[in-house]
Structures are given as structure tokens and as C-alpha cells.
Amino acid sequence: MPPRVAFRASRQQPVGVVIVGCGAGGGVLAKELSEAGLTVLVLEAGRRFIAGVDYRTAEREFEVTAPTVFAPEPSRDRHTCHGTAFEVSRVKGVGGSTLAYLAVVPRFHPSDFRVRSEDGIADDWPLTYEELESYYSEVEYELGVSGPDGEDASPFEPVRTAPYPTPPHEFNKASLAIKRGADRLGWHLRREPLAIPTKPWHGRPACLRAGACMFGCAAEAKSSIDVTYVPKAEATGRVEIRPRCVAREVTVGDDGRARSVVYLDAKGQEHEVFGRVVVLAASAIETPRLLVMSRSRRFPAGLANGSGLVGRYFMEHLAVVAFGVFDERLDAWRGTPAGGSIQDFYETDRPNAFARGFTIEVNCSRQWPLAVARRLGVWGASHRARMKDVFGRMVGLATVGEQLPDVRNTVELDPVVKDSFGLPVPRITCEARDNDRAMLRVIPRRLTELLEAAGAREIWEPAYMPGWSAHYLGTCRMGRDPRTSVVDAWCRAHEVPNLYVGDGSVFVTGAAANPALTIMALAMRTAEGIVRAFRDGHA
């Protein structure tokens, strides 16, 4: 759908709100703020993708060509690691990482917001599940989330005030094989909530069960931000999205308020835009980077970084991946890549040597011929025989384990390495700490147990894959106390009254659930706070 641009921000006049980043958080904010009557300028580092044109999932060579579409630009999108190598998986573009997400959108559980009260570790969020519940529902209806209600619902599902907008997806044969094991063990494998409607939704078609969500959905069936929130935002006539514009600094005025955003366009030329409010929604890696790059005399350690906590408490989810090979054909590539989840180990269980828990997900992605051939890692006479033996009979499991926040896990500026604009690249330190390591000792056993119970004839040793979760969180945490947090309960910077953070960086803890829905629900709530600030004359 071509963008509708009725509004163009002028160079001199400040707009109502400048948003940096048009992903899960930024896209929601753009719609909510513009529908409330504010003018909005969105700076987005990546380009705009057109579903029917850019995605390459219908080609014979799709396994080679489709992954190139969202591939990082090697000189622009660099990062370095300190310690364990950390693979970064994200997308820059109008829609952000939701362009590639598998659209698994569970809610967090009530206990996730009270980790310190319940478990005596980490911190509580400055808001509760109950306060976020109505926002969860509204986002679910915007996305047309499919999920099971009634008897089919997960027994661990938190209280909801509205049913899922669309019915759940069917299980494919691979998920049914795993379900057999889960049933035997008394675990509850259920269809997970997916932002993939099972019936036509808001003018988009129902899912074709093509299984290519990570390469962009050419049918526009997957509810990514570019086909849900962005068109609604642009339809207000009050939003301008500028793709291929990389923010490099937020400036502050003498009054200590955010004044402008300096950015570089596709040609590397510098521009400045002014807003009464600035929202950073560039992701938990890029938002702290931008804040620390925005050093000034007033904020020598980086903007809004009086606490020294910008970039600290970086979290991802502990992703342990296992594969099972079965005697029967599973043909796992048919249907959505996500194939159901088990939340029996989600909450803290006292006998464990660790607090909090993990979700097990059936992962049907990348079971195509070339992906399996590469995974086997053999060539020569045995290659084809091995392929014949395992192809179509394999299914994956992956965990979303709760990594606890740790002040030593960080996103900082690399002191040496620069990107193509000459800006310092993010340097990531993300180690599994004590509690994480204890959990990582148990997860492989559970995965193996499940595959055995399901009747797998071959089980590949579960492997922990740092970075693989693609769920990057923390780094500008919320809290009531400016000494121990960066933003307040409305995601407003403690130190800069017109600066907000609208992405996954504000998370206090990471829970054991995929984060996109919570990022969107929080962004919606933050938009409400911003609109109130305008109304009350504080913006």
C-alpha cells in the first residue's frame, strides 16, 4: 500500500512529537498520538518494504534470496561483543523487527511485574498486570490475534477481560507429534496467541499457512506494524515517516528539555528536527546507544543518564534449541513457524536451583530442504543418504527462558569500532549469570524428556544460542526511583520531562514470554501519558 503523506513536517516549526524508530513501540505510538490530534514525525533508519513486491518467498531459490531482504547492512548495522559472542537478529525498516517476527504474542503473567515481591530478586515493575490488561486487549484487537479460549486455553493463561479476536490456528503434524509427548508427560501444549489472524481482519486476508513469517509475509496476513498501525497512523494525515534517516543525537535546550533530534539521511547529510516531545523507540540496543551519544555539558554521561544505568541491565531470553527426528513424516514447513507453547515451567518452583522459569515453544521454522541440508553439516556420499533419512521428519523446540537483569550485562559504545557514518557501534556484553546458568542446566533435560516422550528416534543435543532469541530488553529500565531507573512508570525520563522511551528498553524484567505484545501495550499506555501531558500543558 503506498504511503499516504498529507502532512510534512516543516524545517523550522516544531512538530508535536518526534519519534525515533518505527518498530513495535514506535509504530503504536505514531498511531495513538496522531489519532489524538498531535502532529508526529517518525525518523526510521531502515527503508519501507512493500509486501507484494519486496519479499522473495515465492521464488525457487527462496532459501537463498528471501533472507537477503532484511539482512543487515554490513557497514551500518555493526556491533561488537565483549565475552561470549552474541548474535544480533533484528530488522531495520518501517515496521522494525515485527517485519520478521514470528508473531508469537503472549501476555506477560501477573507475577512478572512483581518479581522482587514474589521471589526476592531483581525488581518489581512500577505497574501491575491489571493496569496493563486493557491495553493488552486493545492491541490484540488491532492485530487480530488468534488464540484458544475456553477448554482449549492454556491453564496458565492470565486473566483476560476479552476473548481472543480470532480462533486459534490448527496444529500441523509436527506439533501434533510433540503434543503426543506433552500429553504423556502431563504438560500442556497449547496453540499460542499469534498476531496472525485466522480470518480476514481489517481488510487483510487470513493466513495462508505458508510458514515464511521471518522473511516478511507477502500476503500481508501477518500483523506486523507496517500493515496494522502504520497505515492507520498515516491515514490521520498528521504523521510523516522519514525512512532511511538515522538519528545520531538528541539535543537539549538551556531549560534541560529535549529540543531537537539530529539525523543523517541516506546520503549521509545531516538535518535537525524540532519537537515539543521526543520519544525514543529505536530498540533496546539502539536507544541506549543514542542516549549515550547525546552527551552534553549538562548530561556528561549521556542524556537522561544521571543514574549511570542507561545501557545497563540488558536482557534477552535464554534460547536453547533442540531438534528431534521422527520415524513418521512431519512436513513441519506447512503452517505457521510457531507451533504451540508449553508454560508448565513458567513460574518459580521452589525445589529448583533457580528462580523464575521458561516457556517451551515448538519451532517449525527452517525445515526446508536447504536449511536442513546445512544443519546436517555433512557432504559427500553420506550427505544425500542422511537427507533422505531426516528430511521432513524433523522438528525443533526452542525455549524462552527468563534471563534475570544483571547490571554487568550492558550495551555500551565501542571505544574503537565505528559504523559507516563514523558513529561508535554498540558493544554488547551479555553473559548467562548464576541464576541463568542454573536454569540452563535444567532446560536441556526438559527438552530431551519431551522429545523422548514424543517418540523421537534421534535427538540432537540441545544448544544454548546467545542472541538467538531476538528479544532484546532492558537498558533504560522503568522505576519510581531516579537513582535506580532511567524512566518513570509512564516511560518518561526522570531527568528530562519531555523525553520518553517507547520500546523494549524500559522492561524491568524480561519474563518468560515473547515481548512484542507487551512492548506495544506499554507504548499505547505511554502515548496516553504523552497526550495527557499535552492536555495539561506540560509538554
Ligand X SMILES: Cc1cc2nc3c(=O)[nH]c(=O)nc-3n(C[C@H](O)[C@H](O)[C@H](O)COP(=O)(O)OP(=O)(O)OC[C@H]3O[C@@H](n4cnc5c(N)ncnc54)[C@H](O)[C@@H]3O)c2cc1C
Choose among ligand SF4, other proteins, ligand X, none what residue 504 binds, the Cβ cut-off being 5 to 8 Å by kind. Answer: ligand X
Helical (H) or strand (E) element with 388: helix 381-390
**41 near ligand X, judged by CB under 6 A:** no
Helical (H) or strand (E) element with 280: strand 270-280
- Interface residue with ligand X, options 9, 18, 51, 105 (CB under 6 A): 105
Determine the 3-state secondary structure of 85 from DSSP: coil
Least distance (Å) between residue 182 CB and other proteins: 18
Q: What is the DSSP letter of 205?
A: P
Least distance (Å) between residue 88 CB and ligand X: 9
The residues in 501-520 that bind ligand X, with binding defined as CB under 6 A, are 503-504, 514-516, 519
The rounded distance, in Å, linking the Cα atoms of 228 and 237 is 16
**22 near ligand X, judged by CB under 6 A:** yes
Q: How far apart are the first and last CA of the chain?
A: 33
**211 near ligand SF4, judged by CB under 6 A:** yes
The DSSP secondary structure of 495-536, one letter per residue, reads S-TTEEE-SGGG-SS-TTS-SHHHHHHHHHHHHHHHHHHHHT
**25 near ligand X, judged by CB under 6 A:** yes
Choose among ligand SF4, other proteins, ligand X, none what residue 20 binds, the Cβ cut-off being 5 to 8 Å by kind. Answer: ligand X
Please report, as a single letter, which amino acid is at residue 17: V
Determine the 3-state secondary structure of 212 from DSSP: coil
Q: Which three cell numbers stand for residue 421?
A: 557514518
- Interface residue with ligand SF4, options 64, 208, 370, 385 (CB under 6 A): 208
**Closest by Cα among 493, 484, 480, 477 to 530:** 493
- Interface residue with ligand SF4, options 222, 242, 289, 312 (CB under 6 A): 222
The residues in 135-154 that bind ligand SF4, with binding defined as CB under 6 A, are none
**166 near ligand SF4, judged by CB under 6 A:** no
The DSSP secondary structure of 449-493, one letter per residue, reads HHHHHHT-SEEEEEEE-TTTT---B-SS-B-S-TTT-SB-TTSBB
Measure CA 63 to chain center: 23
What's the order of all strands across the beta sheet hosting 410-418? 80-81, 424-429, 410-418
- Interface residue with ligand SF4, options 177, 210, 247, 273 (CB under 6 A): 210
Helices (H), 102-211: 115-119, 129-143, 173-185
The rounded distance, in Å, linking the Cα atoms of 235 and 264 is 26
The count of chain residues that interact with ligand SF4, using the rule CB under 6 A, is 13
**105 near ligand SF4, judged by CB under 6 A:** no
Q: What are 277's strand-pairing partners?
A: 17
Determine the 3-state secondary structure of 227 from DSSP: helix
The rounded distance, in Å, linking the Cα atoms of 201 and 158 is 25
Task: Report the residue number whose CB is nearest to ligand X.
Answer: 23
Residue among 306 and 335 whose Cβ is closer to other proteins? 335
**196 near ligand SF4, judged by CB under 6 A:** yes
Interface residues with other proteins (CB under 8 A) are 55, 57-64, 81-86, 170-173, 207-212, 218-219, 329, 331, 333-335, 368-370, 373-374, 379-381, 383-385, 387-388, 391-392, 466
Residue among 215 and 263 whose Cβ is closer to other proteins? 215
Span of 80-88, 206-214, 325-333, 439-447 interacting with ligand SF4 by CB under 6 A = 206-214
**283 near ligand X, judged by CB under 6 A:** yes
**Closest by Cα among 406, 423, 403 to 414:** 423
Residue in the structure block whose three cell numbers are 552534553: 296
- Interface residue with ligand SF4, options 41, 207, 443, 447 (CB under 6 A): 207
The residues in 84-103 that bind ligand X, with binding defined as CB under 6 A, are 89-93, 96-98, 100-103
**17 near ligand SF4, judged by CB under 6 A:** no
Pairing verdict, β 394-402 and 358-363 = antiparallel
Pairing verdict, β 338-342 and 358-363 = antiparallel
The residues in 336-395 that bind ligand SF4, with binding defined as CB under 6 A, are 336
Choose among other proteins, ligand SF4, ligand X, none what residue 370 binds, the Cβ cut-off being 5 to 8 Å by kind. Answer: other proteins
Residue among 107 and 169 whose Cβ is closer to ligand SF4? 169
CB 1 within 8 A of CB 228: no
Residues 6+ apart with CB under 8 A from 281: 19, 20, 21, 22, 23, 25, 26, 29, 287, 501, 502, 503, 523
**516 near ligand SF4, judged by CB under 6 A:** no
**91 near ligand SF4, judged by CB under 6 A:** no
**174 near ligand SF4, judged by CB under 6 A:** no
- Interface residue with ligand SF4, options 69, 127, 185, 219 (CB under 6 A): 219
The site string for ligand SF4 over 317-336 (x = CB under 6 A, - otherwise) reads -------------------x
**104 near ligand SF4, judged by CB under 6 A:** no
Choose among other proteins, ligand X, ligand SF4, none what residue 30 binds, the Cβ cut-off being 5 to 8 Å by kind. Answer: none
Residues making contact with ligand SF4 (CB under 6 A)? 196, 207-213, 217, 219, 221-222, 336
- Binding stretches for ligand X (CB under 6 A): 20-26, 43-46, 89-93, 96-98, 100-105, 214, 246-247, 281-284, 286, 290, 470-471, 503-504, 514-516, 519
